[in-house]
Structure 1
Amino acid sequence: MLKFLGSLFIVSSMTGIGIWKAEEVKHSYQALGKIYHLIGMMKNELSYAGSEFGEMFECLSKKVDAPYRNWLLGMKIQMERRDGKTFSEIWEDNVNGFLKESGLGMEALNHLKMLGRNLGGADRQMQIWSMERYLKQIGLQMDEMRKDIQMRMKVRICLGASAGILITIFLI
């Protein structure tokens, strides 16, 4: 009876870990969608409202949740301080500081940092073009993720359950 309960506990806990890892895949896709939406709002603010970056960050921070709100407010505050950093340095510092735990993968974070480098030294039209290019890139990445997200989730759950069964077999 004790072996049975121990085996059941091992299999269920490993399956739980598989489910948790599967949720990470889904969370990563959702985080990518949020950043896609946010950069789209930034592009619209620049193109149609003609806002400056500080004003735009403050306005958009009211429309999004944490950690994106904190990222935008951090950008605004550091830009107002003018402590000798370039725009791209401020952008990268805030991405590293506020968006590390957002669920975005390393690839998405690196693309976001590259966007900041492109925005820092460009005129308004080039900034808008950089945002459009970034949105296309993220859109393609999201399409690719969407194609195999269900399969990736199932694989992680199955691997967790299989690992639990394998461990149980070795212990018995």
Structure 2
Amino acid sequence: MLKLLGSIIIISACGMAGLVKARTYTRRTGELRSIQSALQLLETEIAYAASPLAQALHSAAACGEKNVAGLFLRASQELLSMTGQTAGEAWDKALAVFYPQSSLNRSDLLILRNFGSTLGVSDREDQIKHLCLTQEQLRAEMEKAEAEAGSNVKIWNYFGFFGGIVTVLILL
């Protein structure tokens, strides 16, 4: 009876570990899609509403999807804190809080950091060009992420449970 209970626990734990790993692949594509959407909203705020950057970031957070709204809201709050930091520094601080909780990888982070370094340092037309470039780079990363997710999600789902079964068989 204890062996059976232990076996079920091992298989369940390994299966859950596989499911968690598989979920990071699907979360990454969703987060990239949400960031792209929020950047599109930011572009609209800058181009057509001519909003100040802090307000545009806040609007992108308010209208954007919940999973990335914190990034844009935090950057807006950092800018409004009146501590004398640049928009790029505020964006980097927001990224430092957002990135560890996200499923983004280092290449995604690099794209977002590069975007932050150009944020608020030029005129409206140049900002729009940088936003479009960032969206294109994120679109390319999203395509890669979708391809990775398509092949790896099933593998990790099955690998977790089969790994648990193999572990149980070895221990018996």
- Provide the residue aligned with 1:88 in structure 2: 88
Q: Give the structure 2 partner of residue 114 of structure 1.
A: 114
Distance 1:116 1:148 in 2: 27
Match of 1:72 in 2: 72
* Distance in 2, Cα, partners of 1:75 & 1:94: 5
Offset at residue 67 of structure 1 (A): 5.3
DSSP 3-state at the match of 1:121: coil
> In structure 2, what is the Cα distance between the partners aligned to 1:59 and 1:90?
16
Where structure 1 has 5 or more consecutive residues not aligned to the other structure, the ranges are: none
Counterparts of 1:58 and 1:64 in 2: how far apart (Å)?
10
Q: In 2, are the aligned partners of 1:67 and 1:98 still within 8 Å (CA)? A: no
TM-score, normalised to structure 2's length? Answer: 0.88
Q: Note the C-alpha offset of 1:91.
A: 0.9
SS at match of 1:83: coil
Shift of 1:65: 4.8
Distance 2:85 2:111 in 1: 20
Kept in 2, the 8 Å contact 1:88–1:117? The answer is yes
Cα distance in 2, alignment partners of residues 74 and 123 from structure 1: 23
Alignment of 1:120-131 (within 5 A): 120-131=120-131
| Structure 1 position 35, deviation (Å) | 0.5
- Where does residue 161 of structure 1 map in the other structure? 161
TM-score, normalisation: structure 1:
0.88
Cα RMSD over matched residues?
A: 2.0
Mapping of residues 12-161 of structure 1, within 5 Å: 12-66=12-66, 68-161=68-161
What is the rounded CA distance, in whole Å, between the counterparts of 1:13 and 1:97 in structure 2?
Answer: 29
Q: Which residues of structure 2 form unaligned runs of 5+?
A: none
The verdict on how the C-alpha distance between 1:45 and 1:85 changes in structure 2, with shifts beyond 3 A counting, is: same
Q: Report the CA distance between 1:138 and its aligned residue.
A: 0.8
Once the two structures are superposed, residues 99-145 of structure 1 have per-residue CA deviations (whole angstroms, 9 ceiling, x without a partner) of: 43133223212211110102232222111111101111111111122
By how many angstroms is 1:61 displaced?
2.6
- Aligned equivalents of 1:23 and 1:93: distance in 2? 26
In structure 2, what is the Cα distance between the partners aligned to 1:139 and 1:52? 26
Give, in angstroms, the shift of residue 86 of structure 1. Answer: 1.8
One-letter code of the match for 1:162? F
Query: What percentage of aligned pairs have identical amino acids?
Result: 24
